[in-house]
Chain A
Amino acid sequence: MRILTLASRNVWRNWHRSLVTMLAMAFACLIMIFFSSLMEGMMQGSEHSVVAMNMGDIQIHAYGYRDDPDLYTRIEHPDQLVATLQTRGYRATSRIFGYGLLAANMASSGAHLRGVDLTHEAQVTELNRHVSSGRWLDDADPLGVVLGKKLAGTLGVELGDELVFVGQSSDGYMANELFRVRGILKSVSDGIDRMGVFMPMQTLRDLLVIPDGAHEVVLIRANRTDDLEAETAKVQALAPGLEVKNWKQLMPVVARMIDTAGVQIIIMMVIFYIAVATVVLNAMLMNVFERIHEFGIMKALGVTPWQLMGLVLAETMIMAVLAALVGLAGGWWVSNYYQLHGIDMSALAGSISYGGIAFDPVWYAAITTDALVQPVLFLLIVAALAVIYPAIKAAALRPVQAIYFR
């Protein structure tokens, strides 16, 4: 008996019922793929918000700088270090910092000056694309600075307005300069929003008389899937005598939040998949019960219980595979759409921030191999498991009763 041929004919013969079953399975598969990619997108998006704006994957400081951000606690020869890191495939940049008072009109505020290496910074972070009004820094405009969002509000300045900086340079003299607002950032992190003033590195070097050294070197690993801990150890080997920390160590609260979100997602996936399994089981059960009369006749014609079981299983798997293909195509398409366009949550939540980090209010899906393959595999397994009970039921039918079953 050619079970496969028979099974495919059976599927085709009652195409109406088969279609409904397949649609249920395909829809479940599509939803699972979409859900997985959304969750994956949330995880990646959270990490991206932390890492790509300012943090980087790994930060290098001179020992003691993070506890006491002092002008004099610097990394010697940062350019050499950055070059070494670049040759190892990391994307790295150096930064210098300073504190002082920034005033505009009669308003003033404490400011955290951030001197940025424009060529390298753009390879590491996306700050340059995070400007809400105006433009990002330019070496050709040394006195044009970019302000954090809240700082601009505190000072009441707009693009082109004048800013006076007063502080102390590293040789003890007063540092004093007039700047112009060149750009205002979107929300990045609490510290930058409230105090951040970005300027080309050379401007800050001249202003605070810091001829060499850097306060911070930030880098991004070449491949996002590389193990962060292992990479941190590798970088530490390249930067002896300096403090090397990855973002999870620097922002433990946020890292833990993202890790817990991972566990929550797994729990939600399990619940969701159980619901999908119930739908598939239900469809298959109905399918078998509807055909008890037919199975009774087959048995009466001499089909063995094992053959009958194989037949039901084969029918199910044919439908499941077809449904999985449709679901895969549909899920991919939907996920891809939201990967490109995102779901804008800003209307619901305004700006989202946690642990001092502003998160992107647009929620993008992320298609990964896992997000595509897992739902398909799961659907096939669930279909196979769900059909066991109906198949046994069919195999164990007593022909005479089954024929008269109505």
Chain B
Amino acid sequence: MRFACCFLLLLTASPCFAVEQPAEQDRTKQILNEVDDLWRGNSSYAVVTMQVKTEHYTRTMRMEGWSKGKEKTLFRVLEPLREKGTMTLKSGNNIYTYLPKTDRTIRLTSGMMMGSWMGSHLTNDDLVKEARLEEDYDATISFEGMRDGRDIIEFTLIPKPDAPVVWGRLLLTILARDYTPLTERYYDEDMALARTFTFSDMKMLGGRERPAVLRVVPADKPGEFTEFVYETLELNIPVSDAMFSLSRLKQR
């Protein structure tokens, strides 16, 4: 589901501009919009397997997720049994976690935002910020042409001066042919590579070819990764708003 979010981020990157020439700006916007369209519908349902490998443990988790618009996302853990039923609800800027063991819902505070989400290499902050790239970043096309034998387009996303982000810069690479995302690199405020998202394994998902695997590798620990594998993805399905309400968390 997180996967979906990451894709969303691409699409949301679209309405970022601030380029001098209007033509160039339109084109950036248009391409990013198409990348967006590739991944986002008005709503979605997906089943994703998440594998986390760190120095100390390797674990696999299967979860399902729903999204509606940019602001509402809900994940539910299916496997393993020990964590089954754990839910994460993102609604606007807030993240809530429902824990079946204690039957309690808690809201994550700002202090927890940089903490790991479900033991993965993603943070809770990633979940919140994913749909807000257009607000926080300016996008430009920084490279177009052949690289490593592929015709690609590279976007550079620079945070706006007062944006509350922890990254110094984002580099997004897509295939020029069909605007399939390839990699996304996050640089920290010292402009050193912090982590890399890699998209791979084209598969039929939600009615067309999309990368089914997203791998996140932290730059400081190259031996570790979090991998998301899409099993199913359905777009533009009817999802009720009530699904994303706090009161519903407990009832499931």
Contacts and interface: CB of A to CB of B under 8 A. Distances in A.
B97 interface: yes
A170 B99 contact: no
A109 interface: yes
A312 to B, nearest CB: 76
B106 interface: yes
Contacts of B57: 170-172
A81 B74 CA distance: 48
Contact of B59 (A72, A108, A171): A171
A166 B97 contact: yes
Looking at chain A's contact residues, the main secondary structure is: strand
Interface in B79-124: 80, 82-83, 86, 97, 99, 101-102, 104, 106-109, 111-112, 115-116, 118-119
Nearest to A162: B104
A178 B43 CA distance: 35
Instruction: Using C-beta atoms within 8 Å of the partner chain, give the interface range for chain B.
Output: 20 to 34
Contacts of A173: 59, 80, 82-83, 119
Contacts of A168: 116, 119
A71 B115 CA distance: 14
Contacts of A164: 99, 102, 104, 106
B208 interface: no
A99 to B, nearest CB: 8
A101 B116 contact: no
Nearest to B83: A174
Contact of A110 (B54, B109, B116): B109
Nearest to A195: B111
Which range holds the interface residue count of chain A? Answer: 10 to 19
Contacts of B82: 173
A92 B244 CA distance: 51
Interface in A137-178: 164, 166, 168, 170-174, 176-178
Contact of A176 (B54, B101, B108, B115): B101
Given A164-B106, A170-B56, A177-B102, A109 B111 contact: yes
Contacts of A109: 109, 111
B52 interface: yes
Most buried by B among A164, A171, A172: A172
A166 B56 contact: no
A71 B55 CA distance: 12
Nearest to B82: A173
A118 B226 CA distance: 39
A101 B56 contact: no
Given A168-B119, A171-B59, A173-B59, A178 B108 contact: no
Interface string A96-114: 0000010100101110000
A172 B56 contact: yes
B56 A103 contact: no
Contacts of B116: 168
B102 A172 contact: no
Nearest to A72: B56
A177 B102 CA distance: 6
Given A110-B111, A172-B52, A172-B54, A103 B83 contact: no
A172 B109 contact: no
Interface in B47-82: 52, 54-59, 80, 82
A109 B106 CA distance: 11
A166 B106 contact: yes
A110 B112 contact: yes
A101 B108 contact: yes
Contacts of B55: 72
Contacts of A72: 55-56
A172 B107 contact: no
Contacts of B111: 109-110
Interface in A374-405: none
Contacts of B99: 164, 166, 174, 176
Nearest to A179: B102
A178 B106 CA distance: 12
Nearest to B111: A110
A108 B102 contact: no
B231 to A, nearest CB: 21
B104 A172 contact: no
Given A166-B97, A173-B82, A173-B83, A108 B106 contact: yes
8 contacts: A101-B106, A106-B107, A108-B109, A110-B111, A164-B99, A164-B104, A171-B56, A173-B80
Interface of B: 52, 54-59, 80, 82-83, 86, 97, 99, 101-102, 104, 106-109, 111-112, 115-116, 118-119
Leading 8 A-B pairs by shortest Cβ distance? A103-B106, A172-B57, A110-B111, A172-B59, A172-B119, A164-B104, A176-B99, A178-B102
